[in-house]
Structure 1
Amino acid sequence: MAGIAAVVLGAGVGELTAAAFAPSSSPVTVVGGALIDVAPGWAKETAIRLFGAADKMALVVGIVIVLLAIAAGIGILESWTPSIGAVLCGALGVAGIVAAVTRADAGGLAWAPSAVAGGLAAFTIGPLVRRAGGAMAAHGARTAATRPTDDRPVRDRPAEPSRRRFFAWTAATALVGVAAAAGGALLQTGTRAAGAARAALRLPTPAAPAAPIPAAAALHIPGLAPLITPNGQFYRVDTALLVPQVDPGSWSLRIHGMVDHPLTLTWTELLALPLEESYTTLACVSNEVGGSLIGTAKWLGYPIRHLLAQARPRAGADMVLSRSVDGFTASTPLEVLTDDRHAILAVGMNDAPLPMVHGFPVRMVVPGLYGYVSATKWVVDLEVTRFDRATAYWTTQGWAPRGPIKLESRIDVPRTGTVHAGESVIAGVAWQQHTGVAKVEVSVDGGPWVAAQLAPAISADTWVQWHLPWYADHGDHVIRCRATSASGEVQTSRQASPVPDGASGWPETTVHVA
């Protein structure tokens, strides 16, 4: 208990220190970020598969649990060997300092929160453990004194032990730590300039508005994913344990590398450019067959090809290495950023400024590629280079350096479970961004493939909804679907996991008709 209380106090005050002086360097965040960076690819993929968008919360909870277990062990070691607990607490602080100062977005005070956390825990643990030892000794003496064989007068027996005082000190210490951590969270919420800037931002009128959505593009079938994904429901997969807080007033984008004319673009300059609207479906490479790590939004931004044309890439360049403010990198084929697709620097999402978790103030949106090689959030740097000269974050983890979207489909209705017999419907979505979908077919119980009715697509860069009327007979049924692209490719039945370049196979659902 003494060890846990000391470490909770240190960690809580460390979080408060971070909120006040180094918001991106909270001890839990920097340690969690370091764990994300050093974790092997299979571990990250497992976390995404198990927890989905809650993978970061699961990591934080895991860090806290492990930290509490370590703290308990430190307390026990301190009771055996005085001062060893202080040394170990100091070592935890040093580990946090190293993790903080080696981050790409480390500031001048990045070391301070972990130094405060480790130092305060080291200072506190000795006195608390000594109080624990005194309380236990007094309790033991009193227990011996009250045995039936103890014939001493009651006035000569040991006094009431200090256990209550120890519990009070320990609880107070831990509560101060918890209160400090809560105060840090409130302080960050109230003082982040980026959040205030976003709240006050009014997006400029697009110079090129998006074409109207076809009237019949949305089927409005209960259970079918909405054609346009609301911002709050849009999937989030990234490596940022703490969402970067980038003040747009200080944001800039540097374009350099194998170019004749390097340039730097500021926030004011970006908003002054003729911005364009476009609908694009984004998908995560970790998405399993039939998974939900995909969404469609209306984006507002400026075509990257125009900026690259100004920079004038040199002959031989074939890749753009984009970099986030927190050090994340993605490798995007140069030809994809210079053709006629809507590859943009996005500032808006569904008629609102980008949400903080989706890259405010600026992110990349590139149709036709998985996000891990294109959709860099909080982007601040574009380096024109070559695939044989540079590697990106996920490439070093064993993923393919180029990530073209695979032809996929999904069954949304009916879901696995029980449905009622009679007239029903099978419905879902299909996609292959920047190519488009020409047909979706459905097979029930291994029977013949039947063409579903395809809704009009917004564009080749978005998914398309489909449905098929179905009379549901009593019993268990297995439903599969497959898509055919506008180029004539048929979705493969070959089952493949997401690693290294995206999952494949026919989606399948089993239902019981009652």
Structure 2
Amino acid sequence: MRERLWAAILGITAAAAVLATAELIAIFVGPQSSPLFAMGSLAIDLAPLWLKEAMIALFNTGDKVALFVMLGIALLVVAAVAGILEMKRRYAGVLVLVVVTALSIIAVTTRAEASAVWALPTLLGMGAGILVMLRGRRLLAAWIEAAGSRTEVPAASNSTTAESLSRRSFVTFAALTSAAAVVVGVGARLMNASSAAVTAARSAIRLPKPAVPAPPVPAGAELDVQGITPLITPNDEFYRIDVALQVPRIESADWELKITGLVDHPFSITYDELLALPLEEHVTTIACVSNEVGGNLIGNATWLGYPIRDLLAKAGPAADADMVLSSGPDGFTAGTPIETLTDPKRAAILAVGMNGEPMPPEHGFPARMIVPGLFGYVSATKWITTIEVTRFADAEGYWTPRGWSALGPVKTASRIDTPRASQRVGAGTVPIAGVAWAQHTGIKRVEVQIDDGEWQEATLATPISDDTWVQWSLPWTAEPGSHTARVRATDKSGKTQTKTEAPPAPDGATGWHTVSFTV
């Protein structure tokens, strides 16, 4: 039994050497060439729709952390098995390393914008892992032979016999190799993740004043109700849902957007050229299609950017083009109706600023798309580098072949922020309050039902625009006991959100948000 344990430790040590070496080499090749992140991205790409929904439902914005935990556990198991196999049959564990490396190379080299050189960190990591595996096997085999048994490694001894010397050699080798792998691997990962040059360059950016500033927030737009969602979502609280396991680090000086496809005049634009254009500022609410009824995968911010319709006008789209396929370095693509992007009444922008600062890296620096009225999976491409004018008949966005609708208009919805589910509140006048949204259509009315009673119309705050959510509140005289409140909204087109409950897939969740609480 002890022999298997030490053999498993050998396999884990070899795997640590693989990852540490790969992360170190990735500093010079590029952060995106990290095999661990590439394998994670491949897992996201290949995962069935039901599993993606379950991950987001269970872990919300922590889905990537959960994925890394599961990948880590899987890696430990495979590495331990490789070590045990190596001790049973020479080169069996090495073969496992080679197979896993081959899968990693496929994952790395099939990422967006990948090149053949991206395989180098994984290949060199495999070489280091094989060396550790072979050297460790010899040391462990010597210990087993000195102990006079191939089925059990004896307990530690302070004697200076051949057995204790061989034991010390193996333990020292495994400990020092593991420690070095942790130090090198963690250090390299931090360097790959932080990219000091990008951070410094972003900090030095001074965004120009908008040629078209956002209108002042009207009086009465934000209700004074404790527990209600802020009207403007702070950057560090804004939801993040994307397919990038590590945030792409792109220097603004290296960034370039290409407008191509079915256009008369394809062209490229740099970051400095973009900032020199007459930028517009808009307050816009955006939402993720994975948002459950009552969920928080939605936010409202002040965005600074340039109208996408003007970029497309310069390129001259073909008359039969009906879709724009936007993409970035993370492998994500979004298929957006061209009529939405060219609508002069819709503030669809290529955004460079968020709430008064350059776009945060995790939200798309240097630039991203913001399109009112469409779910993010068909419009909100982060770290955008390509806009391809095409047709829905000829191309698909990232999520469409994975079971989601090709078109993603945001549905009229509402949410109760306070009281929270299962909360205990005091008797007396209690505000029931929250937010409602119907981007680019606007909210006309919000109604609240308490304990299956009559629907009561809530008071709406003054909306910033039809492209933003609106706060609402209903004062209620609370009586002791258990109570249930539900909410529904009606948009300016006269459509009231449906009571029918439906999951997020394929085009957004439906149903009335309901909370139960105690007075």
Fold match (TM-score > 0.5): yes
Find the aligned partners of 1:296 and 1:156 in 2 and give their Cα distance.
Answer: 70
One-letter code aligned to 1:58: A
- What residue number does 2:335 align with? 331
Query: What is the letter of the counterpart of residue 124 of structure 2?
Result: V
Match of 1:348 in 2: 353
Distance 1:139 1:424, change over 3 A: farther
> Quick check: 411-420 or 134-143, which moved more?
134-143
Superposed CA deviations along residues 15-74 of structure 1, whole A, max 9, x for unmatched, are 121123321111101111111111122221211111111111111121111111100000
- Counterparts of 2:170 and 2:132 in 1: how far apart (Å)? 13
Q: What is the distance in 1 between the residues matched to 2:511 and 2:284?
A: 23
Q: Distance in 1 between matches of 2:258 and 2:413?
A: 35
Preserved CA contact (<8 Å) 1:285 1:371 = yes
Q: Which moved more, 1:446-455 or 1:378-387?
A: 378-387
CA distance in 2, matches of 1:325, 1:429: 34
- Structure 1 unmatched ranges of 5 or more: 147-154
Letter in 1 for 2:30: A
Q: Judging changes above 3 Å, is the alpha-carbon distance between structure 1 residues 443 and 55 closer, same or farther for their aligned structure 2 residues?
A: same
Figure out how many residues of one structure are paired with residues of the other and give that number: 504
Deviation at 1:139, TM superposition (A): 4.3
1:270 aligns with 2:274: yes
Q: Deviations over 1:125-154 (max 9, x none)?
A: 12212322333444466999x9xxxxxxxx
Does the 8 Å CA contact 1:89/1:119 hold for their aligned counterparts?
no
Aligned equivalent of 1:425 = 431
Aligned to 1:468: 474
Q: Which residue of structure 1 lines up, in the alignment, with residue 417 of structure 2?
A: 412
Cα distance, 1:415 vs structure 2: 0.2
Greater CA drift, 461-470 or 244-253: 244-253
Mapped partners of 1:325, 1:31: distance in 2 = 16
Look up the match of 1:33.
41
CA contact (8 A) 1:220 1:226 kept: no
Equivalence for 1:109: 117
Q: Deviations over 1:242-289 (max 9, x none)?
A: 111112212111112222222222212111100000000010000000
Letter in 2 for 1:408: A
Equivalent in 89, 93, 100 of residue 85 of structure 1: 93
Q: TM-score, normalised by structure 1?
A: 0.94
Q: Which residue of 2 aligns with 1:178?
A: 182
The alignment yields a C-alpha RMSD, in angstroms, of 2.0
Instruction: Provide the residue aligned with 2:363 in structure 1.
Output: 358
- Kept after mapping to 2: 8 A contact 1:142/1:160: no
SS at match of 1:479: strand
Aligned partners of 1:158, 1:390: CA distance in 2, in Å? 68
Q: Which amino acid aligns with 2:513?
A: P
Between 105-114 and 456-465, the greater mean CA deviation after superposition: 105-114
Kindly indicate whether residue 266 of structure 2 is the aligned counterpart of residue 258 of structure 1. no
* Residues 130/481 of structure 1: CA separation in 2 closer, same or farther (3 Å cut): same
Q: Aligned pair in 2 of structure 1 residues 434, 156: CA closer, same or farther (>3 Å)?
A: closer
| Structure 2 counterpart SS, 1:15 | helix
Whether the 8 Å CA contact 1:32–1:63 is kept in 2: the answer is yes
416-425 or 65-74, which deviates more: 416-425
Secondary structure of the structure 1 residue equivalent to 2:200? helix
More deviation, 132-141/220-229: 132-141
Deviations 1:53-97 (A, max 9, x none): 111111112111111110000000000101222222122222222
Aligned to 1:149: none
1:58 to 44, 54, 66: 66
Task: Report the residue type matching 1:402 in the other structure.
Answer: L
- How far apart in 2 are the matches of 1:216 and 1:348? 26
Instruction: Report the equivalent of 1:198.
Output: 202
Partner residue in 2 for 1:287: 291
CA deviation string 1:355-381 (max 9, x = no partner):
001000010000000000000001111
Q: CA deviation at 1:185?
A: 2.4
- The structure-2 alpha-carbon separation of the partners of 1:141 and 1:32, relative to structure 1 and needing over 3 Å to count, comes to closer
Alignment match, 2:215: 211
Whole-angstrom CA distance in 1 between matches of 2:287 and 2:190: 33
C-alpha distance after superposition, 1:463-482 (max 9, x if no partner):
00001111111111111000
User: Which residue identity does 1:470 align to in structure 2?
Assistant: W
- C-alpha separation in 2, matches of 1:337 and 1:505: 29
Q: What's the secondary structure of 2:273's corresponding residue?
A: helix
Match of 1:419, SS? coil
C-alpha distance in 1 between matches for 2:256 and 2:464? 32
Deviates more, 1:281-290 or 1:322-331: 322-331
Structure 2 SS opposite 1:378: coil
Share of identical aligned residues, percent?
51
Deviations 1:172-197 (A, max 9, x none): 11111111111102323564433222
Q: Conserved in 1, the CA contact under 8 Å of 2:287 and 2:297?
A: yes
Q: Secondary structure at the match of 2:84?
A: helix
Structure 2: distance between partners of 1:129 and 1:231: 51
What does residue 3 of structure 2 align with?
A: none
Give, in angstroms, the shift of residue 11 of structure 1: 0.9
Three-state SS of the structure 2 residue aligned to 1:162 is helix
- Kept after mapping to 1: 8 A contact 2:147/2:163: no
